[in-house]
Structure 1
Amino acid sequence: MRRKEREITEIDEIEAIIGRCDVCRIALTDDNIPYIVTMNFGYSGGARKKLFFHSAGKGRKIDIIRTNNHVCFEMDTDHNLTIGREACDFSMKYSSVVGWGDIFIISDDEERMEGMNSIMKHYSNLTEFNYKQDVFDKTTILKLEIKTMTGKKT
């Protein structure tokens, strides 16, 4: 990062930003053509940091993941427009996280449940969840194993 004073490397601060984000953008590559999707997500910290997503089982995103699972992700929050007296005096304050990793389609039901619960915990205060079996069975769960990530605060 060019402006080191804006870089966040402390994992606690990065995870706090993740906790405040509403969506995550996943950047995929399809035959050297970039493709980005905005998704709901859940985060699991610890030694093996992961993001979980739910998806339909078919479509362009799934097709790309099957051929190239290397991804970049981005999420941002805390947006605040600073208004200036002249055009170039305007600025946008925000906090963001950018990272890289590999994304997988999960087939193991226990791990799929971990992913669903992670997503639900991100968006609710609940700690236990009940899922309709038919809905759970047809929901595709994606797991992004994070290799590296960094935060930024402007």
Structure 2
Amino acid sequence: MRRSDKAVTEQGAIEKILHTGTICQLAFSDEPVPYLVTLNYGYHDGALYFHSAREGRKIDLIRKHGQAAFTVALDRGLITGEKACDWSVRFQSVVGHGSVILIETPEEKRQALDLFMAQYSSDDFSYPDKMIQATAVFKLEINAMTAKQSRIEA
């Protein structure tokens, strides 16, 4: 990272960003250009959890490559100023990559969906069998990640 003063290196601080976020962008290798998609997610124990339709470009690319890059960014507010160069944004972000695994069994899907829903709510949820069958559930096991922040007061 070029700007080491913006680096977030403490694992607990990085995980706090991942636990706080609500939107993740996944990037897949594809031809002639990469494919980028924005999704809700859940974070738990070094992995990001997602759900989607069982068919589509994203699922095809997971099956083909099994790898993706990701970013989670938190908008912490706009900074204004008198001159254009005084304007900025407070933010925190995590970027990384990892192996993407489709979760197949109904019980594993339910466990993953619980981790997903824990990102947004402390409520308990049930998942009807029909919904489980109709939903793709997958996780990205994070292989590497870096984090940075700007204009965040300690």
Same fold, TM exceeding 0.5?
A: yes
Q: Report what 1:107 is aligned to.
A: 104
Aligned AA (2:118): K
Please, which of 65, 69, 92 is the counterpart of residue 66 of structure 2? 69
Q: Secondary structure at the match of 1:12?
A: helix
Q: Distance in 2 between matches of 1:20 and 1:106?
A: 24
Contact 2:110 2:127 in 1 (8 A): no
Please, which of 94, 97, 105 is the counterpart of residue 97 of structure 1? 94
Q: Report what 2:34 is aligned to.
A: 34
Q: Report what 1:124 is aligned to.
A: 121
Work out the percentage of aligned pairs sharing the same amino acid.
Answer: 39
Q: Distance in 2 between matches of 1:86 and 1:78?
A: 22
How many residue pairs were aligned?
Answer: 150
How far residue 31 of structure 1 moved from its aligned partner, in angstroms, is: 2.7
Structure 1 regions of 5+ residues with no counterpart? none
1:145 aligns with 2:141: yes
Q: Distance in 1 between matches of 2:35 and 2:21?
A: 21
How far residue 32 of structure 1 moved from its aligned partner, in angstroms, is: 5.1
Normalising by structure 1, we get a TM-score of: 0.92
Aligned AA (1:153): Q
Q: Report what 1:8 is aligned to.
A: 8
Contact 1:30 1:68 in 2 (8 A): no
How far residue 37 of structure 1 moved from its aligned partner, in angstroms, is: 0.4
Aligned AA (2:117): M
Contact 2:50 2:137 in 1 (8 A): yes
Contact 2:42 2:48 in 1 (8 A): yes
How far residue 143 of structure 1 moved from its aligned partner, in angstroms, is: 1.0
Q: Distance in 2 between matches of 1:5 and 1:138?
A: 46
Structure 2 regions of 5+ residues with no counterpart? none
Q: Distance in 1 between matches of 2:111 and 2:48?
A: 11
Aligned AA (1:73): F
How far residue 148 of structure 1 moved from its aligned partner, in angstroms, is: 1.1
Aligned AA (1:131): Y
Contact 1:65 1:104 in 2 (8 A): yes
Aligned AA (2:14): I
Normalising by structure 2, we get a TM-score of: 0.92
How far residue 151 of structure 1 moved from its aligned partner, in angstroms, is: 1.3
